């Protein structure tokens, strides 16, 4: 890393909400690799970030120059359908109050992490940031997507009125070692890996999969996502939203067969078409990230999947 890079990270105190989570652990590791000496990770037991008094206590304790707000209540389609009120309220209150308090305390920079779920259901592919407001999000995850999208509105409003330096990043679905493999709340890749590995271990010859397999998705390896976030933290100072993606699109049906190959599952799949497909297509235009702060994903999808499968197979005994 260049000296100026080292100076940026070495001279500032960072607070990473969600720093103990899947993405957060990688972001924190990469912060330290870049020379950051002071990285504060609030844990959920000590700080309930939906509560204003808790946010204020965290900022008193952390005294940050830069906040990277990764904390979120997240889940797959099932979890979003079961908890739409919680997903809306908790994500909105965490983000909006935290950014407001950061502005009030003149914290140098606020890095807000949005979600691909903020895009309209029928967005032209590849998704361009300019299309963010051209329709309502896909219904199953709209409450979550809109709650996170309010941070973009707030970022732009606070920059316009107060000159506050906050940025808003839109990562596509993440995956990688250390992902959430809990069947009640996991996203599609860990859910499928778990099902396939379990089927192999137990000698099952059929697996149920939601939907009809036709939707497409784009996935970003967690190491790449963390790299993009830190490049933006250092180099990007604008409130225009920025996509973080890999530029690679795959159908759920092809994804299922690829994971089956990598896990050694040779049985069949039963597609439950009574369950929702979710958004029809997802693939991001990633030009703005490349032009604005030089981010381009480095890990190929198959390579990332191999690492993720290997991690799960090594750790499955301790994962509930």
Residue ranges with strand state E in the chain: 13-17, 38-40, 66-69, 109-113, 166-171, 173-175, 206-210, 216-217, 219-221, 242-244, 250-251, 268-272
Rounded distance between C-alpha atoms, residue 84 and residue 141, angstroms? 8
Which residues, listed in sequence order, are joined to residue 262 by a DSSP beta bridge? none
Asked whether the bond before 36 is cis by omega within 30 degrees of 0, the reply is no
Cβ pair 120, 136 in contact under 8 A: yes
* Element (DSSP H or E) covering residue 188: helix 188-202
Angle at 234 between CA 2 and CA 1, to 5 degrees: 20
Phi-psi domain of 141 (left: phi exceeds 0; alpha: psi -120 through 50; beta: other): alpha
251 SS3 class: strand
Rounded distance between C-alpha atoms, residue 225 and residue 231, angstroms? 10
Rounded distance between C-alpha atoms, residue 165 and residue 159, angstroms? 6
Please say if 144 is a catalytic residue.
yes
**Tell me, what DSSP letter sits at residue 68?**
E
Spatial CA neighbour of 173 closest among 104, 220, 120, 237: 220
Spatial CA neighbour of 101 closest among 62, 59, 63: 59
Q: Which of 119, 144, 164, 236 is catalytic?
A: 144
Rounded distance between C-alpha atoms, residue 179 and residue 249, angstroms? 20
Catalytic residues: 144
């Amino acid at each position: 890393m260049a000296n100026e890079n080292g100076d940026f990270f070495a001279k500032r105190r960072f607070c990473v909400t969600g720093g103990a989570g899947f993405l957060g652990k990688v972001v924190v590791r990469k912060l330290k690799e870049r020379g950051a000496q002071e990285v504060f990770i609030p844990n959920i037991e000590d700080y309930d970030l939906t509560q204003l008094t808790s946010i204020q206590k965290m900022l008193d304790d952390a005294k940050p120059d830069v906040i990277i707000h990764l904390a979120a209540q997240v889940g797959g389609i099932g979890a979003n359908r079961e908890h739409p009120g919680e997903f809306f309220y908790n994500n909105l209150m965490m983000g909006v109050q935290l950014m407001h308090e950061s502005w009030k305390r003149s914290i140098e920079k606020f890095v807000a992490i949005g979600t691909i779920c903020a895009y309209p259901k029928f967005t032209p592919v590849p998704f361009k940031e300019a299309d963010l407001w051209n329709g309502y999000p896909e219904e199953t995850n709209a409450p979550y997507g809109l709650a996170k999208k309010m941070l973009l509105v707030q970022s732009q409003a606070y920059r316009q009125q107060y000159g506050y330096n906050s940025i808003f990043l839109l990562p596509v679905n993440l995956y990688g070692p250390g992902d959430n493999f809990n069947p009640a709340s996991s996203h599609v890749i860990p859910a499928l890996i778990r099902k396939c590995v379990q089927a192999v271990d137990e000698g099952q010859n059929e697996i149920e999969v939601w939907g009809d397999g036709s939707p497409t998705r784009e996935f970003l390896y967690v190491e790449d996502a963390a790299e993009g976030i830190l490049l933006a933290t250092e180099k990007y100072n604008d409130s225009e939203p920025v996509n973080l993606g890999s530029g690679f699109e795959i159908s759920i049906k092809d994804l299922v067969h690829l994971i089956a190959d990598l896990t050694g599952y040779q049985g069949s799949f039963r597609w439950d078409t009574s369950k929702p497909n979710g958004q029809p297509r997802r693939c991001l235009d990633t030009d703005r990230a490349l032009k604005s702060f030089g981010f381009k994903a480095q890990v190929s999808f198959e390579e990332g999947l191999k690492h993720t499968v290997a991690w799960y197979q090594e750790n499955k005994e301790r994962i509930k």
